[in-house]
Amino acid sequence: MVMPKSEKAFLRNGEQGIYAHVVGWGMAVPDTVMTNHDMEAIVETSDEWIRTRTGIAERRIASERDSTASLGLRAAQRALDVADVLPTEIDLIIVATSTPENIFPSTASLIQHRLGAVKAGAFDLSAACSGFVYGVEMATQAIRSGSIATAMVIGAETMSRVLDWQDRSTCILFGDGAGAVVLQASNAPGGVLSAVLRSDGSGADMLSIPTVGSEDLSNSYFLASEHRMFKMYMNGGEVFKFAARVVGESILEALEKADLTLDDVSLIVPHQANMRIIQSAARALKLDVSRFVSNLDRYGNTSAASIPIALCEAIEQGRVKENDNLVFVGFGGGLTWAAMVLQWGIPQGLEGYSGSRIKRQRRRAMYTLAHWRTRLLRLSRVINQFANRLLGRDEHPEE
Ligand code: COA
């Protein structure tokens, strides 16, 4: 195998390389389906307009019981089953999301404790629809540096909760869902080969969800547009032009970094925003559109979740094979964009696929234990505070 440029830079003085391989994957979407016809009852639109301008036919909408963490948790549990990894083996959990449960605690921390991943660090990553690729690259670098061995990267969103349901040009585009991958260290070459991460904050006003800590909306870069606190605003036409340009460019850049060409690529898993953006990228790269995975007809744009969900479905459909070179490419608010090249395949020695029954049962037991551990810890804190007050003890004694 020819060593990509990024590899040569990484391996110094004949060191043995550490590679980050995807060994597990999983997805979760809410049960509720909202079709374009359902949308006609909410805003002035038509199934025909939405299909021809976007390629979307339906999307999933979170119920009151669903949340960004609950969808992310389900996707993560499925990814652990495929990888046959225990929650206690995870060193790092990254949740890419634009719809976190809170500003803090992070959605990643909520998922970490529900999994019972007691040895994992956890944080949320904000890079809008590019967030999943950013997250996989961060996890890869942590693995390749030797600092960690196992990471979980999740893209999870409840976009339906930040949509302006009176704005027909945005509310028809988005849906809810989550996807996750487990990455593990191995000395076998392959896995993530290269990545390009980019940002252009001058386009911040094109796609945004202002929140606490925001500048005065009437007195900032939001001026002259209809930005509203906690609601998504988008300049669709400008975002379309930006996306159509960066998808092709960043794919070529990531391939160059990996010393590969488009001929070496089996499948491109793009962010699922609009079928016309995918078609335009295919035209620019002179590729048949069948080389791109697309499932946005059924899910719409699920932001940071769209690439891992599309990946899971492509694997399920048998479109991803051992040693295939794949490309992930994302773009969105920031503006941000990112592309990544991976060589697919689970090296020998890493668990993957086997799904041993005993480990599966241990994982289930750990989830139950995590549930009760949290309850007990919270209860013990309440009892401690109560006892301290009763006994007149100072809860914060000076040193
Ligand atoms: N149903 C019916 N008509 C609609 C509509 C809807 N849901 N949304 C907009 N229109 C109307 C507009 O009001 C406009 O009417 P007008 O000509 O009377 O003013 C007309 O359709 C054309 O609007 P336009 O914005 O030019 O359409 P478009 O072909 O550019 O498609 C988007 C609009 C939003 C679908 C398209 O710009 C897009 O997909 N952009 C990228 C968005 C994206 O992917 N964002 C996420 C990135 S992560």
Residues 196-212: pLDDT tens digits? 999 999 999 899 998 88
The domain tally of the chain equals: 1
Give nearest CA residue, ligand 1 atom 29: 53
What distance in angstroms lies between residue 274's CA and the mean position of ligand 1's atoms? 11
Ligand 1 centre distance from Cα of residue 134 (Å): 28
At residue 394 the predicted structure's pLDDT band, cuts being 50, 70 and 90, is confident
> 371 lies in a domain?
no
Q: Which residues line ligand 1 (CB under 6 A)?
A: 45, 49-50, 53-54, 129, 168-169, 172, 234, 236-237, 239-240, 243, 273-274, 301, 331-332
Amino acid residing at 88: T
Cα of 168 from ligand 1 centre, angstroms: 8
User: pTM, whole model, 2 decimals?
Assistant: 0.93
Residue 64 lies in a domain: yes
Task: Supply the residue whose CA is at minimum distance from atom 38 of ligand 1.
Answer: 236
Q: Which pLDDT belongs to residue 350?
A: 73
Residue 397 has pLDDT above 80, yes or no: no
The reported pLDDT for the residue numbered 225 is: 61
Q: What's the CA gap between 146 and 181, in Å, rounded? A: 19
390 compared with 130, residue with greater pLDDT: 130
pLDDT band at 399 (very low <50, low <70, confident <90, very high): low
Confirm whether 368 is domain-assigned: no
Length of the chain in terms of residues written:
399
pLDDT tens digits along 310-330: 999 999 999 999 999 999 999
The percentage of the chain sitting over the pLDDT mark of 90, rounded to a whole number, equals 80
- What average pLDDT does the segment 277-304 reach? 97
Shortest-distance Cα residue to atom 47 of ligand 1: 332
Residue at 144 is within a domain: yes
Catalytic: 271?
yes
Find out whether 19 and 187 touch, Cβ atoms under 8 Å: yes
Give residue 30's domain range.
5-343
Active site (annotated) includes residue 129: yes
Q: Indicate the residue type of 247.
A: V
Q: Which of 21, 113, 227, 271 is catalytic?
A: 271
Active site residue 21: no
Instruction: Note whether 18 and 186 are within 8 A (CB).
Output: yes
SS3 190: coil
Buried b (16+ CB within 10 A) or exposed e, 333-365: bbbbbbbbbbbbbbbeebbbeeeeeebeeebee
- 229-250 average pLDDT score: 93
Question: For residue 1, what pLDDT is reported?
Answer: 46
Q: How far does the centroid of ligand 1 lie from the alpha carbon of residue 169, in Å?
A: 5
Between CA 184 and CA 179 the distance in angstroms is 17
Q: Where are the beta strands (DSSP E) in 227-307?
A: 233-234, 265-270
Q: Which atom of ligand 1 is nearest to the CA of 39?
A: 7
Give dist(CA 85, CA 351) in Å, integer: 7
Most confident range, picked from 219-223, 342-346, 350-354: 342-346
Per-residue pLDDT for 131 more than 90? yes
Q: Is residue 390 part of a domain?
A: no
The CA distance from 129 to 141, in Å, is: 20
CB atoms within 10 A of CB 118: 14
Is 22 within a domain?
yes
CA angle at 182 for the pair 181 and 184, rounded to the nearest 5°: 140
- Pick the residue whose CA is nearest to atom 44 on ligand 1: 273
* DSSP symbols for 40-98: HTTSS--HHHHHHHH---EEE---TT--HHHHHHHHHHHHHHHHT--GGG--EEEEE-S
Q: Does 381 fall in a domain?
A: no
Q: What is the CATH number of the domain that holds 143?
A: 3.40.47.10
Give the pLDDT mean for 124-145: 98
The residue nearest atom 10 of ligand 1, judged by CA position, is 169
Res. 358 pLDDT band, cuts 50 70 90: confident
Mutate which of 48, 53, 307 for ligand 1? The one with the most ligand atoms within 8 Å of its CB, which is 53
What mean pLDDT do residues 40-69 have? 97
| Chain mean pLDDT for the chain | 91
Q: Given a cut of 90, is residue 346 above it in pLDDT?
A: no
Which is nearest to 151 in space by CA: 78, 75, 197, 85? 85
**Strand pairing class (233-234; 207-208):** antiparallel
Q: How far is CA 284 from CA 200, 281, 393, in A?
A: 22, 5, 71
User: Domain for residue 359, yes or no?
Assistant: no
